[in-house]
Structure 1
Amino acid sequence: MQQPSEQVPALLDGPAVDVSDADELLLGYLEWYRQALMRKLDGLSDDLLRTPVEPLGWSPLGLVQHLGWVERRWLRWGFGAQDVVAYPPGDDAEEWTVAPDTSTARVIAAYQAEVTVANSLTAQAVLTDKARLGGRFKTPDQAPSLGRILFHLLQEYARHVGHLDIARQLIDGQTGE
């Protein structure tokens, strides 16, 4: 029996503790990080969402916009070989900078639309499926498996959600889970 002074270990983030299937783990953790991204925006005003955080140089909403482009590049253009614009016009700063006339709702909706398309592509595939040719990857030896792409996305989200933790601490002192 647990004593009142003993602390119960925190539950694991992501998929259920009994999940061991690689597909379920990768997709489950990717979805957990997508949701964590949205959770970490909770409580920020529109102004705080849009204001670049110093010394980082980007805004929380800019990070969401960037991750929408990342989803597009790796899953639609990369894995699915869809004929889409893979990078915004201009340089890298454009990907991270939300135009003043672009609403917060529009940035979030664009991000969520990319996630929806990404999920539809992964739902019909297995981890060993290779990326289709013609989009990001031109030859069979360049084309990674879906598992490799998902693993890349997972680490990208983990890094950026951690970055957002730092931004929140700088903005309002909130800390991550």
Structure 2
Amino acid sequence: MAIIRQKHTLLLLLLCVILPFSRSKSEPESVTESSIHDLLKSKGLPVGLFPKEVESFTLYDTGLLEVFLRGPCLTKFDTMAFYESTVRANLTYRSLTGVEGLSQEELFLWLPVKDIIVDDPKSGLILFDIGVAHKQLSLSLFEDPPDCKSEDFLNLKKKSRKEIGFDAQI
């Protein structure tokens, strides 16, 4: 009976030691930042990369960041920017890579933002990779979280298509 009790005690002890380390990599990381803007700042990124309309976010152990907005919306930095209701990216120090759910307007085209990188904060520049080009923008454009309007995107999209000769069929 004493041997069985020792085995149970040893098994319980092993479980107590192993379980804290067996958390799946896809589980959310415990984040102490109170907002997405605090998280961005702690990672060396400007707080104005995401609009004020962020409802929540999840940061996974893998570095995957999911940001949830109230809905799709439109804002302006140097050009118009469109946020889908969910934006995903891999977050590392001073960069968001593999961005999904964010587009910028360039010459009447909406191009997806692929990466956002602050190489050297002293330069005062932030790099936006939009696939066909790399844009360097002033970090000062992102000092404050912008307001994001949801109804303006559909109106702008209709207007842009008509201006370049297409009927808007939304």
What is the TM-score normalised by the length of structure 1? Answer: 0.26
Q: Normalising by structure 2, what TM-score?
A: 0.27
Greater percentage in helix:
1
- Higher-Rg member (1/2): 2
